[in-house]
Structure 1
Amino acid sequence: MAGIATGAEVLAERSVWSAAETLPTVLDDLMLTIEHVPRAEEGDEVAFAGVWVGQLRRIGAAKLNYWGLSSLVESAVLLISELVTNALKHGKGSEIRFRLILGTDRGTDLVVVEVDDGSPGRPEVRNADADEESGRGMLLVAATAHRWGVSEDETTTWCTLTSPAVARRAR
């Protein structure tokens, strides 16, 4: 996994404004690394993924609620679920890095969700057939996120949510 950018650098890169004169203000920058060990059986992999997806959803929701961004919780939880599940299911790296950055810039609150699975490859937005049990994750991400994309080395999939900035007390 490549060098880690600061939260302000990531927010500026993923921001709705392409050329910011100043870096956005970082409210919170959380990064967690999950050891990614292939499981012997499919059921083990599903159970392992479910545990991590559930924990990261709860952490993400708690962070957003703490910063007064409860209006974004439902969307963020969906995005976290889809990106982490894809990384656990399709990633070939030995670890998965989850990052949640909350910031504010020019009167807009920004939330960036990043998942780096260490293996190159662009996720595809596709229309799954009605009888398929999977294959809709990136379609949901594309429909829910303000923006989404993949890092230049194709190991990190990211998405953003935005909201008008809320008044908050110093934390």
Structure 2
Amino acid sequence: IPVPSGPVGATCLYVVYDPVAQQCVMASAGHPPPAVVGPDGTVEYVELSPGPPLGVGGWPFETTERDLAPGSVLALYTDGLIERGEGDIDEGMRDLADRLVRAEVLERPLRQARHDIVSDLPPGRLSDDVTLLLARTRVVPPDATATWQLEADPALVGRARHLVLEQLSRWELDELAFTTELVASELVTNAIRYAGGPVRLRLIRTDVLTCEVSDPSNTQPRMRRARTSEEGGRGLYLVAQLSHRWGSRYTREGKTVWSEQSLPLTDRLR
């Protein structure tokens, strides 16, 4: 197997959409920009400042923030979709924009529209693989979120638990009260102990219940198994055990650690 003599890298486009703030944050590592189909049917490409492909360069990547109206469609794709050996990249991007319009992505299920966008591409003339991902933006209504700012005071962890229990009672999610109280308590405690303040605690109720804790530190949490002789070190392990999913993401001000729990069946059927 021949070994490449030069540097080897991979392009990447990383996108995070916040349905509460209706804001999309994205960064590119040498990858083509996403296309946005607005609610009025217009198609435009987000202007990014791409960094080098992953594995090639070593400097930070620049993020771009973009507000997206509810019902917009975001199209992410590999360069094989716009580089097909016939014309330049600009022509390929114009062709993709036309395909998005003809596929009526605003009115139709995205699974059907996606198929129509790529179905007539000539396989024999493709110079690279083709991948297309479509996502429709939605908005979480204000009454489905609750946000609190807390100072970096360990005495406020008890208040955080109280706030969570009150909010879950308003949402009639008492079945999740114990686990969410514990998750919020552990995440707020870790943020105060290791990152300082202020700390933002946020609950989001959609098809899942999300508990988020944001702090000003960019140090990512690390889960470990505490020894039997240790008094601490079990917080993130408990969060992972009580959550359907959990993780952490960087923000402009620091980081956010989040935890998701499935809603009770009776609540999902409402």
TM-score, length of structure 1 as denominator length = 0.71
- Asked whether the equivalents of residues 19 and 140 of structure 2 are also in contact (C-alpha less than 8 Å), the reply is no
Q: What is the rounded CA distance, in whole Å, between the counterparts of 2:186 and 2:229 in structure 1?
A: 19
Q: What is the rounded CA distance, in whole Å, between the counterparts of 1:53 and 1:127 in structure 2?
A: 23
CA displacement 1:82-134 (0-9 Å, x = unmatched): 00000010004x4111111122x3xxxx2111111110111111110001010
- Asked whether the equivalents of residues 53 and 81 of structure 1 are also in contact (C-alpha less than 8 Å), the reply is yes
* Residue of structure 2 equivalent to 1:64: 168
Q: Does structure 1 residue 100 correspond to structure 2 residue 191?
A: no
Secondary structure of the residue aligned to 1:99 is strand
- Asked whether the equivalents of residues 8 and 23 of structure 1 are also in contact (C-alpha less than 8 Å), the reply is no
Secondary structure of the residue aligned to 2:181 is helix
Q: Sort the Cα spacing of 1:20 and 1:5 in 2 relative to 1 into closer, same or farther, 3 A.
A: closer
Unaligned runs of at least 5 residues, structure 2? 1-16, 24-132
Following superposition, the deviation at residue 28 of structure 1 comes to 2.3
Secondary structure of the residue aligned to 1:149 is strand
Q: Sort the Cα spacing of 1:133 and 1:167 in 2 relative to 1 into closer, same or farther, 3 A.
A: closer
> How many pairs does the alignment contain?
141
* Residue of structure 2 equivalent to 1:158: 258
Question: Which of the pair has more CA radius of gyration?
Answer: 2
Match for 2:149 among 33, 36, 48? 33
- More helix by proportion, 1 or 2? 1
Q: What is the rounded CA distance, in whole Å, between the counterparts of 1:78 and 1:86 in structure 2?
A: 12
Q: What is the rounded CA distance, in whole Å, between the counterparts of 1:24 and 1:165 in structure 2?
A: 23
Q: Which runs of 4+ in 1 moved over 4 A?
A: 18-22
Unaligned runs of at least 5 residues, structure 1? 11-17, 37-47
Secondary structure of the residue aligned to 2:210 is strand
Q: Does structure 1 residue 123 correspond to structure 2 residue 221?
A: yes
Aligned-residue identity in percent: 33
- Asked whether the equivalents of residues 35 and 96 of structure 1 are also in contact (C-alpha less than 8 Å), the reply is yes
Following superposition, the deviation at residue 146 of structure 1 comes to 1.0
Secondary structure of the residue aligned to 1:160 is strand
Secondary structure of the residue aligned to 2:189 is helix
Q: What is the rounded CA distance, in whole Å, between the counterparts of 2:21 and 2:170 in structure 1?
A: 20
